[in-house]
Amino acid sequence: MSPDQQAPKIDVPYLAQLARISLDAEQMEKFGAQLQQIVSYVEKLKEVNVEGIEPTAHATPITNVFRQDEPRTPGDNAPFLKNAPQQANNLFVVPKIVE
């Protein structure tokens, strides 16, 4: 962004309303200035030449660390049901939470 250009004006009262926070006049001025600096920095980033650079989701490669999803028969649930406060028909009994 050239020195004569300015980042768009930030509507701090509107942002505070969206965030459901109440700010006094001093806080609005302070946060407005901070948000203006952030927007100005983002505008600077638009000037960076990214021609030929492939977009990435992560800076480093990520691999799946989960086990293979293979079908298997369920184990014996008796050890789990042994600790249940209530059980019926080989299942946990829980309080009803939806009417």
CATH number of the domain to which 37 belongs? 1.10.20
The answer to whether residue 70 sits within a structural domain is no
62, 66, 69, 73 alpha-carbon torsion, rounded to 10°: 180
The answer to whether residue 81 sits within a structural domain is no
At residue 61 the predicted structure's pLDDT band, cuts being 50, 70 and 90, is confident
The answer to whether residue 10 sits within a structural domain is yes
Rounded Cα gap, residues 84 and 86, in angstroms: 5
- Please count the structural domains in the chain: 1
Q: With 0-12 CB in 10 A as exposed, 13-18 as middle and 19+ as buried, what is 60?
A: exposed
Residue 42 has pLDDT above 70, yes or no: yes
Residue 52 has pLDDT above 70, yes or no: yes
